[in-house]
Chains A and B, each alone.
Chain A
């Protein structure tokens, strides 16, 4: 990587610290940021990874990533029934993590979060695992992030789509909402939210396969619900229930500038595809919590 460019004085290059280098210097990080495969390879979710790193740098957390030593947690294999492959992945990762004496892990992926937190202990991996929504909530509560100085979200309509692996799987419903509340935006809830949230359709390894035959794709159903909620079109909401609807009926609110907030890479893909399918991508954007916080804080460059 090129050295830091001091030219503008307001833009700084980040050299992301790698665990192997820290270990060589006999240092240990406060948190290990588990990037996840989507965070490392998916072009859209890389932006979330980068936004989260900017936040970590901004608040001065001593963090590190595994870099090339990271490997799939095995979540998709386990959900698809391939327990053998899952355990191979899990034990390889646990060997790496334990080798570095990792204690605390933060990740922006609810699937990695759930797997490492709940399923690694039985295989010898015991860590404090935190999802980035909870971590961001802590930063905001501690005043380390003021969500001011950048883009203003005041008055913009935002609806939060619950990730199954954060919500029902691990009972985290309030942290992402607290983060969004700090933006001073106009938060609107979908009818199916929190414990009753509707899946985006990607979990259980569906992300890597075509849906089974049916009447409608799940992400379309969910996107229609999100769009109808954002526009306040109650009639469109009543029509939901597995039936393909026409482009959402216009509601009292203009969709322009509205946001569907997510906290999971797969939800991000599914909801973004849904918005495109409904031809609303010029008006409605899908953002992860970390992106919204980084924008509001004005630390993007």
Chain B
């Protein structure tokens, strides 16, 4: 009875605290600019099924995809056991799902095998990150300090959770063996471990309770760790994929306010639609062209930042990054999250990246006013982008770093006139000559001069 009450309190506290954190994150995402992402439910559903549930894009790289699949399936299946734990905890039952009989055996057996595989996969993940030198994409200026520690904490916690699960099962199994009873379910791994456990009923009972409490408490603590961690992707990947852009990747967003201005310039009779007003009818502060800070980005790009698990596939295929330029698409996404949490709501554990000379950053003194552009992302990074979409293509959860890059370029060019000089020359060539190079427009058709072709009947007429 006491255990049930304790458990209920723990459960309420954990979910309450998590809900409170989620509300803050939701508020952070909603500081972004409006973008209508409604409609196309069937297409979005299919994408979510394939890319998020089906891990489709993970399989561009087989080794990490298989390792990740083990942990992902383990997470899904072991959650069924968590359901049992919650019911047992609340009502004082013991393995209440055991009425399922052979299905229960199958479930427990699968769980145990997956649990063991998870430990192996996590060990492999740890090795990939911590060996010298690690897999290249687990390096970079943005992946030091907290992000590096965070990645390892996740792996340690996952091992602890699995060890707790095996402690619970093994002691329960041995306890039943001592009493000459059969424990419902199948335990292919735990049955191998019983020899390691004491043959003392009291101790086994304690161990079983310890394993049980450690497993569920660990999960609830981990749940509340997520909002501070890149591991939040286990939840956010799903809405993020749902709200994917459905247009061709080459299509960049249109700026409506500019369209109105240009239309008015070209056609004096065009009536510019009135600027949007606040709900009380007052005029809103004018929004800048492009993005200087997080609130200038569309909300979908802010959702992107919370879905990023910092795997670095984007950076590892970026042609600029590959050839030693400063640009790293992952850094831009991580900077966006850091900046949102610095300026608006921060999570429980908040250690934003601070860059110095290694990222060609001026030392930042005024953190509050260190906007996303310049405070975190330097123009040199933005101007290194070839807009090739390799980062967008590679992201397993459909994050679009390119959109943020273009929004910040827009701010640099349209608000600050801070384009590199050679690009300003290109702009004026387009304005004056209708071509990005300094050619005379009257020479545009010269290519057609003295153009000859060998006379030959077309293939179709021959046939």
Min CB distance A112 to B, Å, is: 12
CB of A62 within 8 Å of the partner chain: no
Residue of B nearest to A48 (CB): B447
From the candidates A54, A83, A210, name the one contacting B414 in the complex (CB within 8 A): A83
Residue of B nearest to A61 (CB): B458
Residue of A nearest to B453 (CB): A54
Contact A59 to B458, CB < 8 A, known contacts A50-B447, A72-B435: yes
The answer to whether B459 and A146 have CB atoms under 8 Å apart is yes
Query: Chain A residues with Cβ under 8 A from B258's Cβ?
Result: 83-84, 87
From the candidates B393, B426, B439, B449, name the one contacting A80 in the complex (CB within 8 A): B426
CB of B75 within 8 Å of the partner chain: no
Query: Chain B residues with Cβ under 8 A from A213's Cβ?
Result: 325-326, 380
The answer to whether B388 and A50 have CB atoms under 8 Å apart is no
The answer to whether B259 and A87 have CB atoms under 8 Å apart is yes
Query: Chain A residues with Cβ under 8 A from B446's Cβ?
Result: 40
Residue of A nearest to B408 (CB): A81
CB of A24 within 8 Å of the partner chain: no
Query: Chain B residues with Cβ under 8 A from A59's Cβ?
Result: 458, 460
Residue of B nearest to A41 (CB): B439
The answer to whether A199 and B390 have CB atoms under 8 Å apart is yes
The answer to whether B427 and A77 have CB atoms under 8 Å apart is yes
Mark contacts of B371-387 with chain A using CB atoms, 8 A cut-off: 1 yes-contact digit, 0 otherwise.
00000000010011111
A18 to B423, CA, bound (A): 32
A114 to B383, CA, bound (A): 21
Mark contacts of A180-209 with chain B using CB atoms, 8 A cut-off: 1 yes-contact digit, 0 otherwise.
000000000000000110110111111111
Residue of A nearest to B360 (CB): A213
From the candidates B325, B385, B411, B419, name the one contacting A214 in the complex (CB within 8 A): B325
Contact A218 to B323, CB < 8 A, known contacts A16-B451, A40-B435, A211-B384: yes
Interface size on B, residues (CB 8 A): 81
Mark contacts of B256-270 with chain A using CB atoms, 8 A cut-off: 1 yes-contact digit, 0 otherwise.
001101110110000
The answer to whether B412 and A209 have CB atoms under 8 Å apart is no
Which bracket fits the contact residues of A? 35 or more
CB of A71 within 8 Å of the partner chain: yes
Mark contacts of B419-442 with chain A using CB atoms, 8 A cut-off: 1 yes-contact digit, 0 otherwise.
110110111001100111101011
Query: Chain B residues with Cβ under 8 A from A1's Cβ?
Result: 448-450
Contact A221 to B453, CB < 8 A, known contacts A46-B447, A145-B459: no
The answer to whether B454 and A203 have CB atoms under 8 Å apart is no
The answer to whether A41 and B322 have CB atoms under 8 Å apart is no
CB of B183 within 8 Å of the partner chain: no
Question: B255, B384, B430: which has the most chain A beta carbons within 10 Å?
Answer: B430
Contact A199 to B319, CB < 8 A, known contacts A80-B413, A82-B414, A170-B248: yes
Contact A85 to B431, CB < 8 A, known contacts A208-B422, A210-B422: yes
The answer to whether B409 and A81 have CB atoms under 8 Å apart is yes
A170 to B259, CA, bound (A): 24
A133 to B32, CA, bound (A): 40
The answer to whether B444 and A168 have CB atoms under 8 Å apart is no
Query: Chain A residues with Cβ under 8 A from B20's Cβ?
Result: none
The answer to whether B444 and A70 have CB atoms under 8 Å apart is yes
Residue of B nearest to A42 (CB): B437
Residue of B nearest to A18 (CB): B445
CB of B456 within 8 Å of the partner chain: yes
The answer to whether B435 and A41 have CB atoms under 8 Å apart is yes
A221 to B408, CA, bound (A): 27
From the candidates A16, A87, A170, name the one contacting B250 in the complex (CB within 8 A): A170
CB of A253 within 8 Å of the partner chain: no
Contact A88 to B454, CB < 8 A, known contacts A143-B463, A242-B322: no
CB of B36 within 8 Å of the partner chain: no
The answer to whether B262 and A91 have CB atoms under 8 Å apart is yes
A53 to B451, CA, bound (A): 9
Query: Chain A residues with Cβ under 8 A from B324's Cβ?
Result: 214-216, 242
The answer to whether B452 and A91 have CB atoms under 8 Å apart is no
The answer to whether B460 and A78 have CB atoms under 8 Å apart is no
A123 to B369, CA, bound (A): 36
Mark contacts of B164-197 with chain A using CB atoms, 8 A cut-off: 1 yes-contact digit, 0 otherwise.
0000000000000000000000000000000000
Mark contacts of A40-60 with chain B using CB atoms, 8 A cut-off: 1 yes-contact digit, 0 otherwise.
111000100110011001111
Query: Chain A residues with Cβ under 8 A from B406's Cβ?
Result: 79, 81
Query: Chain B residues with Cβ under 8 A from A88's Cβ?
Result: 262, 265, 431
A195 to B319, CA, bound (A): 14
The answer to whether B386 and A206 have CB atoms under 8 Å apart is yes
CB of B56 within 8 Å of the partner chain: no
Query: Chain B residues with Cβ under 8 A from A14's Cβ?
Result: 448, 451-453
CB of A149 within 8 Å of the partner chain: yes
Contact A84 to B414, CB < 8 A, known contacts A67-B444, A122-B254: yes
The answer to whether B445 and A205 have CB atoms under 8 Å apart is no
CB of B455 within 8 Å of the partner chain: yes
A171 to B255, CA, bound (A): 24
The answer to whether B460 and A80 have CB atoms under 8 Å apart is no
Residue of B nearest to A39 (CB): B447
CB of A119 within 8 Å of the partner chain: yes
Question: A1, A85, A170: which has the most chain B beta carbons within 10 Å?
Answer: A85
The answer to whether A203 and B387 have CB atoms under 8 Å apart is yes
Min CB distance B158 to A, Å, is: 30
Min CB distance B291 to A, Å, is: 10
From the candidates A12, A72, A80, A85, name the one contacting B409 in the complex (CB within 8 A): A80
CB of A160 within 8 Å of the partner chain: no
From the candidates B249, B430, B439, B451, name the one contacting A76 in the complex (CB within 8 A): B430
CB of B152 within 8 Å of the partner chain: no
The answer to whether B419 and A171 have CB atoms under 8 Å apart is no
Query: Chain B residues with Cβ under 8 A from A54's Cβ?
Result: 451, 453
Residue of A nearest to B254 (CB): A122
Min CB distance A266 to B, Å, is: 10
Min CB distance A267 to B, Å, is: 11
A53 to B452, CA, bound (A): 10
Query: Chain B residues with Cβ under 8 A from A9's Cβ?
Result: 455
Min CB distance B97 to A, Å, is: 44
The answer to whether B460 and A91 have CB atoms under 8 Å apart is no
The answer to whether A143 and B427 have CB atoms under 8 Å apart is no
A51 to B452, CA, bound (A): 10
List 12 A-B pairs, Cβ < 8 Å.
Answer: A11-B453, A40-B445, A53-B451, A59-B460, A81-B408, A91-B263, A122-B259, A123-B259, A203-B386, A212-B326, A214-B324, A300-B454
For the complex of A and B, the 6 pairs showing the least CB-CB separation, nearest first, are A169-B250, A215-B324, A81-B409, A204-B387, A71-B434, A199-B388
Chain A interfacial positions (CB closer than 8 Å to B): 1, 9-16, 18, 35, 37, 39-42, 46, 49-50, 53-54, 57-60, 65, 67-68, 70-72, 74, 76-85, 87-89, 91-92, 95, 114, 117-119, 122-123, 142-146, 148-149, 164-165, 168-171, 195-196, 198-199, 201-218, 221-222, 241-242, 297-301
Contacts A119-B252, A213-B380 aside, 4 further interface pairs with beta carbons under 8 A come to A171-B248, A209-B383, A218-B319, A221-B319
